[in-house]
């Protein structure tokens, strides 16, 4: 079966998203990544197919606005960095907690809490390839980070005096202009649970989501929408837009890559616990532990990301690498996906924040989230994130490059070249699996120019075609078709089939002068070679990360995470099956279930000695530490202790006693085992002031030649 895909961006960029389209040379050559999407005049950015590595080329705020007409720009720039901006943006109203709870009880969602719990068994639509019973997955405490989160958020919640104060006219919901009216909202749940219970702006959001993706008509997802509305009622983002809008846009991004209803529901609820009185347990009991665990996982990732951002942790390569690994290994890979969608929407609406914060978030996104999207193989999101970061971090370079490229991007040339190639292949009787074309993204061009010290004319793959054929022989036959169609640029031919790269990468590359003299890089490979180039040793994510030496632990984990993505996201799964990847029905390695039974979490079974990465906070400084498998808190204290012999100048080591807290709770049993992503805070048992006094006392004694006494305050030290 052949699949033709071209995903391009129009110039001017206002049609970037709606220009995504496919060419089916045969009706059965369908690669409909938006299978569930309702027809929509304005496709969202994430409706672009993943095949071919799509790029969002123009990420400047103005252009973004033009591009994301389906919703994102309507939010304006609304990101509220909850933990950082609480004072300025959120406030408590005069409502007391109990009043808030009462209010919650009267909300439509309380009606739902009595619904049959089977609704909470995860997805109404069955998982794509393997059926999984999420209801059997329990989260344990369900609130490990809750105290931490509460503490961090402080007075973050802005409860309006009336949940219905918000009126649709207060918000720019132009994205809903073509949406259904509230009366037409689709759901079919409890008869007491009607659209009338929703404030007008929320009805607009729901109908808008339903018009974009039919998964928002799924009862389970609608129920999650109501719960999210209840949780965020009255809350606004920095720009004044309702917080719920962010949750819905995050969920739409997930829906548009074909995520299951469990993931979409968790996307709607991803901030519900951190920002309201809802608990993980409540979410688990209402929606099943699958959703509860995901929301908890996202919350934990958010906290770690905030810590890392505040400490600028990821600026060090080693720690950044550890963070990438930790993020993937500590949580269900689907939680990482939700966190990425959350970050993408926040980046799309970054304008509302002050410059310094825009840059801090852009830097963190580039250091942590882009590599995660790369590792998960979500290339559309990766490229959008990169391009947005580029705009904020290097506005001058971005401006310069985009103005040059505006002139040279020629997607019409790619479309016509692809058509021409397909026609010629047909005439020559060469069958192929997939033919695709892509523009290189602005940021990718910028990176390549910086890394290789090239100017723009020296980048030959700004426009590229890729052909996946059946056999090696067909590769060469197709090459000669290409050579007959166009002029080859001298010295640009590479035969990585005859001479594979060290990592095993195989493909034929040539650069031709295509239609209108646009240089066109053509890659030709078999599907086995392609799988190697996407998922194997020569995987694109590894190629893009450079020369890193990965432990088998990291490699297995990424492979696992990608497999989960394939399994859980229709679009990615179609991408793989279009080139004949059939192994996606089973994990690439025999992984056991997660300790709490979660089949989506990675566990280093194949390599039981894989390291554990732990966040250590000592003297208010955060670091990511690596420990061998099965290490305990005691082992960590030993390591920390080694760095804590503070007064070596006294010629005897004095180590302050450290009081560890594990995930915000005092440690009662230091032999307890550390887990990936644990946060260990080390605080001296002795207050700072006393330490100074003790130090002076010891110094005095030492000067007098006396032995430090074991009695009194000095007893608090142990060497």
Ligand X SMILES: Nc1ncnc2c1ncn2[C@@H]1O[C@H](COP(=O)(O)OP(=O)(O)OP(=O)(O)O)[C@@H](O)[C@H]1O
Backbone angles phi, psi at 522, to 5 degrees: -115, 125
Selected range binding ligand GTP among 3-11, 61-69, 379-387, 497-505, rule: CB under 6 A: 497-505
From CA 707, how far away is CA 698, in angstroms rounded? Answer: 9
CA distance 481 to 430: 9
Does residue 509 belong to the site contacting ligand GTP (CB under 6 A)? yes
Residue 709 DSSP label: P
**Strands, DSSP E only, in 263-401?**
none
Residue list 458-477, contact with ligand GTP (CB under 6 A): 460-461
Token pair listed for 29: 């050559």
- Near ligand GTP by CB under 6 A: residue from 21, 420, 540, 659: 540
The entry of ligand X, ligand GTP, none near residue 605 (CB within 5 to 8 angstroms by kind) is: none
Residue 461 sits in the site that holds ligand X (CB under 6 A): yes
Task: Say which entry of ligand GTP, ligand X, none residue 440 contacts (CB below 5 to 8 A, set by partner kind).
Answer: ligand X
Contact call for residue 540 and ligand X (CB under 6 A): yes
Among 494, 659, 664, 675, binds ligand GTP (CB under 6 A): 494
DSSP class per residue in 138-165: --TTS-TTHHHHHHHHSS-----S-GGG
Tell me: does residue 444 bind ligand X (CB under 6 A): yes
Smallest gap from Cβ 40 to ligand GTP, in A, equals: 32
Pick the stretch among 281-289, 345-353, 534-542, 606-614 that binds ligand GTP (CB under 6 A).
534-542
Q: Is 523 in the site for ligand X (CB under 6 A)?
A: yes
CA distances from 503 to 19, 338, 381 (A): 36, 32, 26
Q: What angle do CA 697, 698, 699 make, to 5 degrees?
A: 90
DSSP string, 605-616: -TTTT--EEEEE
Among the listed residues 204, 290, 464, 604, the single contact to ligand X using CB under 6 A: 464
Does 446 help bind ligand GTP (rule: CB under 6 A)? Answer: no
Backbone angles phi, psi at 658, to 5 degrees: -105, 135
d(CA 641, CA 718): 10
State the residue number with the nearest CB to ligand X. Answer: 53
Nearest approach in angstroms of CB 587 to ligand GTP is 22
Residue 466: contacted member of ligand X, ligand GTP, none (CB under 5 to 8 Å, by partner type): ligand X
Candidates 37-45, 56-64, 441-449, 659-667: pick the segment binding ligand X (CB under 6 A). 441-449
From candidates 223, 241, 466, 574, binder to ligand X by CB under 6 A: 466
Compute the least distance from the CB of residue 511 to ligand GTP, in Å.
8
Determine, following the binding rule CB under 6 A, whether residue 292 of this chain makes contact with ligand X: no
Per CB under 6 A, the segment of 117-125, 535-543, 581-589, 710-718 that binds ligand GTP is: 535-543
DSSP 566-578: HHHBHHHHHHHHH
- Residues numbered 369-388 forming contacts with ligand X, rule: CB under 6 A: 379
Distances (CA, A) of 152 to 136, 137, 147, 286, 356: 31, 28, 8, 26, 21
Indicate which of ligand X, ligand GTP, none lies near residue 53 (CB less than 5 to 8 Å, by partner kind): ligand X
Least separation in angstroms between CB 494 and ligand GTP: 5
Phi, psi of 314 (to 5 degrees): -75, 0
* 282 sits near ligand X (criterion: CB under 6 A): no
Q: Which strand ranges, in their side-by-side order, compose the sheet holding 612-618? A: 621-627, 612-618, 679-684, 658-662, 665-666
Question: Rounded distance, CA 715 to CA 276, Å?
Answer: 45
Interaction partner, residue 379 (ligand X, ligand GTP, none; CB < 5-8 Å by kind): ligand X
Give the interface segment with ligand GTP, choosing from 277-285, 347-355, 403-411, 501-509 (CB under 6 A): 501-509
CB of 586 to ligand GTP, least distance (A): 23
Cα→Cα distances 670→122, 141, 632, 661, 690, Å: 37, 20, 7, 10, 25
Q: Does 536 bind ligand GTP (CB under 6 A)?
A: no
Tell me the site size for ligand GTP, rule CB under 6 A: 12
Q: Is 543 in the site for ligand GTP (CB under 6 A)?
A: yes
Q: How far is CA 41 from the centre of its chain?
A: 27
Q: 381 vs 600, which CB is nearer to ligand X?
A: 381
- Per-residue b or e along 235-250, where b marks 16 or more CB atoms closer than 10 Å to that residue's CB: bbbbbebbbbbbbbbb
Residue 655 is given by DSSP the state B
Indicate which of ligand X, ligand GTP, none lies near residue 538 (CB less than 5 to 8 Å, by partner kind).
Answer: ligand GTP
Q: Which tokens is 470 given?
A: 């059946």
**With binding defined as CB under 6 A, does residue 538 bind ligand GTP?**
yes
Nearer Cβ to ligand X (53/142): 53
Applying CB under 6 A, among 314, 533, 571, 637 the residue interacting with ligand GTP is 533
DSSP letter string over 178-223?
TSPPGGG------TT--GGGS-HHHHHHHHHHHHH-GGGGSHHHHH
Residues that bind ligand GTP (CB under 6 A): 460-461, 494, 501, 503, 505, 509, 533, 538-540, 543
Residues that bind ligand X (CB under 6 A): 52-53, 379, 436, 438, 440-441, 444, 448, 461, 464-466, 521, 523, 540
């Amino acid at each position: 079966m052949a699949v033709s895909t071209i995903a391009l961006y129009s110039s001017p960029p206002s049609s970037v998203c709606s220009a995504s389209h496919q060419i089916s040379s045969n009706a059965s050559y369908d690669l409909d990544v938006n299978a569930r999407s309702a027809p929509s005049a304005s496709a969202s950015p994430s409706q672009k197919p993943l095949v071919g590595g799509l790029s969002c080329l123009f990420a400047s705020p103005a252009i973004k606005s033009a591009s994301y007409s389906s919703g994102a720009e309507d939010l304006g720039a609304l990101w509220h960095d909850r933990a950082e901006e609480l004072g300025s943006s959120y406030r408590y109203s005069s409502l007391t907690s109990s009043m808030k709870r009462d209010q919650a009880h009267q909300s439509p969602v309380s009606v739902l809490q009595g619904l049959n719990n089977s609704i909470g068994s995860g997805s109404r639509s069955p998982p794509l390839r393997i059926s999984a019973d999420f209801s059997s997955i329990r989260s344990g405490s369900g609130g490990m980070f809750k105290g931490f989160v509460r503490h961090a958020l402080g007075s973050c919640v802005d409860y309006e005096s009336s949940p219905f104060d918000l009126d649709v006219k207060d918000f720019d919901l132009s994205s809903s202009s073509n949406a259904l009216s509230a009366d037409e909202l689709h759901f079919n749940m409890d008869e007491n649970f009607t659209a009338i219970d929703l404030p007008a702006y929320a009805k607009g959001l729901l109908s808008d989501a339903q018009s974009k993706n039919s998964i928002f008509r799924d009862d389970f997802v609608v129920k999650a929408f109501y719960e999210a509305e209840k949780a965020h009622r009255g809350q606004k983002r920095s720009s004044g837009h309702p917080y719920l809008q962010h949750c819905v846009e995050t969920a739409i991004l997930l829906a548009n890559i074909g995520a299951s209803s469990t993931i979409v529901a968790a996307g709607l609820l991803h901030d519900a616990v951190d920002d309201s009185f809802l608990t993980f347990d409540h979410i688990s009991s209402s929606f099943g532990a699958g959703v509860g665990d995901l929301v908890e996982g996202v919350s934990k990732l958010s906290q770690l990301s905030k810590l890392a951002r505040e400490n600028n942790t990821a600026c060090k390569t080693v720690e950044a690498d550890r963070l990438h690994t930790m993020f993937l290994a500590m949580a269900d890979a689907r939680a990482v996906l939700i966190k990425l969608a959350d970050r993408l929407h926040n980046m799309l609406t970054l304008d509302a924040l002050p410059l310094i914060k825009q840059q801090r978030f852009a830097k963190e996104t580039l250091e942590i989230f882009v590599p995660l999207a790369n590792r998960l193989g979500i290339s559309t999101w990766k490229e959008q994130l990169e391009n947005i970061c580029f705009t904020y971090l290097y506005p001058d370079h971005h401006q310069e490059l985009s103005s040059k490229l505006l002139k040279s991007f020629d997607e019409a040339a790619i479309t016509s070249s692809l058509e021409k190639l397909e026609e010629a292949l047909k005439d020559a009787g060469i069958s192929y699996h997939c033919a695709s074309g892509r523009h290189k993204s602005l940021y990718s061009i910028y990176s390549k120019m910086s890394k290789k010290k090239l100017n723009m004319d020296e980048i030959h793959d700004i426009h590229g075609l890729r052909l996946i054929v059946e056999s090696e022989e067909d590769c060469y036959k197709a090459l000669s078709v290409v050579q007959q169609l166009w002029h080859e640029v001298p010295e640009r031919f590479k035969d990585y089939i005859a001479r594979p790269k060290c990592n095993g990468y195989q493909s034929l590359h040539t650069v031709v002068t295509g239609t209108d003299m646009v240089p066109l890089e053509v890659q030709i490979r078999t599907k086995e070679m392609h799988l190697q180039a996407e998922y194997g040793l020569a995987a694109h994510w590894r190629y893009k990360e450079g020369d890193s030496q990965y432990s088998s632990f990291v490699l297995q984990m990424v492979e696992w995470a990608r497999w989960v993505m394939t399994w859980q996201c229709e679009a990615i799964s179609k991408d793989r099956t279009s080139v004949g990847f059939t192994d996606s029905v089973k994990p690439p390695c025999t992984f056991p279930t997660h300790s709490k039974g979660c089949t989506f979490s990675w566990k280093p079974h194949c390599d039981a000695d894989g390291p554990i990465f732990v966040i250590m906070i000592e003297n208010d400084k955060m670091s990511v530490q690596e420990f061998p498998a099965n290490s305990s808190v005691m082992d960590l204290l030993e390591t920390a202790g080694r760095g804590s012999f503070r007064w070596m100048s006294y010629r005897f080591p004095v180590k302050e006693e450290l009081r560890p807290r594990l995930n915000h709770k005092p440690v009662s049993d230091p032999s307890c085992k550390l887990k990936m992503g644990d946060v260990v805070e080390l605080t001296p048992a002795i207050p700072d002031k006393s330490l100074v006094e003790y130090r002076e006392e010891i110094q005095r004694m030492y000067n007098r030649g006396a032995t430090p006494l074991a009695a009194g305050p000095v007893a608090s030290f142990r060497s």
